[in-house]
Structure 1
Amino acid sequence: MKKQQGFTLIELMIVVAVIGVLSAIAIPQYQKYVAKAEVASVLSTMTGIKTNLEAFIVENGRFPKGEAGEMPVDLGAPEVMPLGKFSLKPGTKDAGTLNLEFGKTNVNALLQGSNLTLAREAKTGTWTCTSADIEKALLPKGCTSTLIAS
C-alpha cells in the first residue's frame, strides 16, 4: 500500500478556483459597502450644516448667498473634507441647495465626481435629499436618485 504524502494538484486547483469565485463576488460587494458608508458620512455632515442653515435663515430672513461670511465653512462645514467640497446655491428668498461634490481622490470609485444635494423648499421649509449620479442602492433611505442602478 502506498502512503498518501499530501494534496494532489487537482485538489489544490479546486481550492484556488473556489477562492477565486468567492473573491469575485466579495470584492464588488465590499466596494458598494464602502461607498454606502461614505455617502452616509457625508449626509450626516450635511445634516449638521442644514441645522446651521436653518438658523441663518431664521436670523437673516433669507438663504445664504455663498459669499464672504456665508460660505459653507462659515455655517459649520468642515474646512477640509477629504471626500469632497461643499457649495451653496441660493434660490428664491428662503430656498436653495447645499451640495457636496465628491472628489477624484480619497473617494470610492463608485462615487468619484458625483454629487449629493440637500434642497430646501421655500413654502414648506422641507429639505429633500437627491442625487442625479449616485445609484439608488448606495443612498440612505429618504434620498432619491434618477440614476438607474448598474
Structure 2
Amino acid sequence: MKKQQGFTLIELMIVVAIIGVLSAFAIPAYKNYVVKSEASTGVATLRAVLTNFDMIQQETGIGPTTLEAIGTTSGAAGSLGTLSLSENAQSGASAVIFTFNTTGVSSQLSGKAATFTKSTSGWSCSSTIPADYKPKGCN
C-alpha cells in the first residue's frame, strides 16, 4: 500500500493566514499608488499643453483664448478630469487648470485642481491636491 502525502489542515490554515496578513499591508499601499498616479496623470496632461501655450503666446504676443487654439479640448483628459484656461481680458489666458472629476477618480482627488500659472519668470504649479499625493514639482 502507498503512503499518502499531502498538506494537513493546519498547514493550509497557516498559509491562508500569511496571505491575509500580507494583503492587509498591500491593499492600502496599492490604493495610495493609484491616487498618486491619477494626480501625476493630471499634472502631466497640463504639462503637455504648456509648449503649445508658449508657442501661441510667442507668435501672437498674448496667451491663447481657447483650448482649441493650443490643440486640445476640455475633454482631452478623458474621464479623469477637465482642462480649462484662466481668462485675462488684456493678455489672454494666463493659467491652465486641470480639475479632477467628481466621479470616476479617487475620492481624495474629487473636485481638486492643479494649475500652471504663467509669470515673467516662467511656469509655476499650484494645486489643491492633498500633500500626500502631490506630484513632484507641483506645490
1:82 pairs, out of 64, 79, 82, with: 79
1:113 is matched with 111
- Normalization by structure 2: what TM-score? 0.76
Aligned residue identity for 1:130: S
Alignment partners' CA distance in 2, 1:89 and 1:102? 16
Alignment RMSD: 2.5
Instruction: Give % identity.
Output: 36
Count, aligned residues: 133
Alignment partners' CA distance in 1, 2:71 and 2:52? 7
1:8 is matched with 9
Aligned in 2, Cα 1:5/1:93: closer, same or farther, shift over 3 Å?
closer
Alignment partners' CA distance in 1, 2:66 and 2:36? 27
Q: Aligned runs of 1:1-150 on 2, under 5 Å?
A: 6-9=7-10, 11-64=11-64, 70-78=65-73, 79-80=75-76, 81-91=78-88, 93=91, 96-121=94-119, 123-124=120-121, 126-132=122-128, 134-144=129-139
Higher helix share: 2
- How far apart are 1:128 and its partner, in Å? 1.1
1:148 is matched with none
Aligned residue identity for 1:142: G
Unpaired segments ≥5 residues, structure 2: none
